[in-house]
């Protein structure tokens, strides 16, 4: 029985691209939770899968130069959000880093979410999902939602003209419809900063 489930899981993961993330729930059609858990454990032991966090697996990519490549924090967070049917928005230092406003790479990346609050360990790093209001996770632009959270992190009275210039420059690459949608959701002081990007 276990062997049969292993073969089915292996067949499924080999048909997908390397680097795809999986949860035990990804294989529920193959058997019960306990049997799936055992099969995943065996596939991890024999090297077919790598466990990136509790209850999360990947068939890693192999780079000829750097070796095994596993998914990054962003990919993992998005996979969890997709599984949970939740919305997430990067915050804090991570948002600043993604926009090129900080060279600091945080060990603990914090996302606002309308899903469950939780903390997930990934090696020496972690992802924290912090429960927030629907409005705070309603931004749809990849860049504009980062910009809003970056400005929130810096603070109303601390943001510099250089930081504003950088943010406005980056946001020129945002889809206009997404930008307009997200500006409307932002606090008043951030809307004032982003005003120059609104078509007159």
Tell me the domains of the chain and their CATH numbers.
Answer: 2-67 (1.10.10), 73-197 (no CATH)
Closest alpha carbon to 12 in 37, 48, 56: 48
Q: What is the pLDDT along the chain (200 residues), one digit of tens a residue?
A: 456 899 999 999 999 998 899 999 999 999 999 999 999 999 999 999 999 999 999 998 877 777 777 888 999 999 999 999 999 999 999 999 999 999 998 999 999 999 999 999 998 899 999 999 999 999 999 999 999 999 999 999 999 999 999 999 999 999 999 999 999 999 999 999 999 988 76
In 91-105, which positions are buried (b, 16+ CB within 10 angstroms) versus exposed (e)? bbbbbbbbbebbeee
pLDDT for 51: 94
The pLDDT value recorded for residue 2 is: 53
Residue-level pLDDT at 179 = 95
Order of strands across the sheet that contains 88-90: 88-90, 108-113, 125-131, 118-122
Digit-coded pLDDT (tens) for 40-55: 999 999 999 999 999 9
> Which spans in the chain are helix H?
2-15, 33-45, 73-84, 92-98, 142-154, 161-170, 176-185, 188-194
Element (H, E) at 57: strand 56-58
Q: What is the pLDDT of residue 27?
A: 95
Q: What is residue 3's predicted lDDT score, i.e. its pLDDT?
A: 62
pLDDT digits (tens, 9 = 90+) for 58-69: 998 877 777 777
DSSP helix/strand/coil, 32 = coil
What per-residue confidence (pLDDT) applies to 131? Answer: 96
Residue with tokens 């019960």: 32
Please name the residues in contact with 87: beta carbons below 8 A apart, sequence gap of 6 or more. Answer: 81, 113, 114, 115, 137, 138
């Amino acid at each position: 029985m276990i062997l049969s489930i292993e073969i089915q899981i292996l067949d499924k993961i080999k048909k997908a691209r390397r680097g795809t993330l999986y949860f035990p729930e990804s294989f529920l059609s193959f058997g019960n939770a306990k049997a799936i858990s055992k099969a995943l454990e065996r596939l991890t032991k024999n090297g077919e899968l790598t466990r990136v966090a509790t209850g999360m697996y990947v068939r890693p990519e192999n780079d000829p130069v750097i070796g095994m490549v596993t998914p990054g924090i962003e990919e993992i967070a998005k996979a969890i959000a997709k599984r949970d049917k939740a919305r997430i928005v990067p915050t804090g230092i991570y948002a600043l880093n993604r926009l090129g406003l900080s060279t600091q790479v945080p060990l603990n990346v914090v996302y606002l979410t309308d899903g469950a609050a939780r903390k997930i360990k990934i090696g020496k790093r972690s992802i924290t999902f912090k429960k927030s209001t629907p409005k705070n996770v309603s931004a749809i632009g990849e860049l504009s939602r980062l910009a809003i959270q970056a400005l929130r992190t810096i603070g109303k009275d601390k943001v510099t003209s250089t930081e504003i210039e950088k943010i406005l420059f980056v946001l020129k690459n945002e889809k206009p419809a997404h930008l307009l949608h997200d500006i409307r959701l932002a606090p008043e002081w951030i809307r004032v900063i982003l005003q120059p990007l609104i078509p007159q």
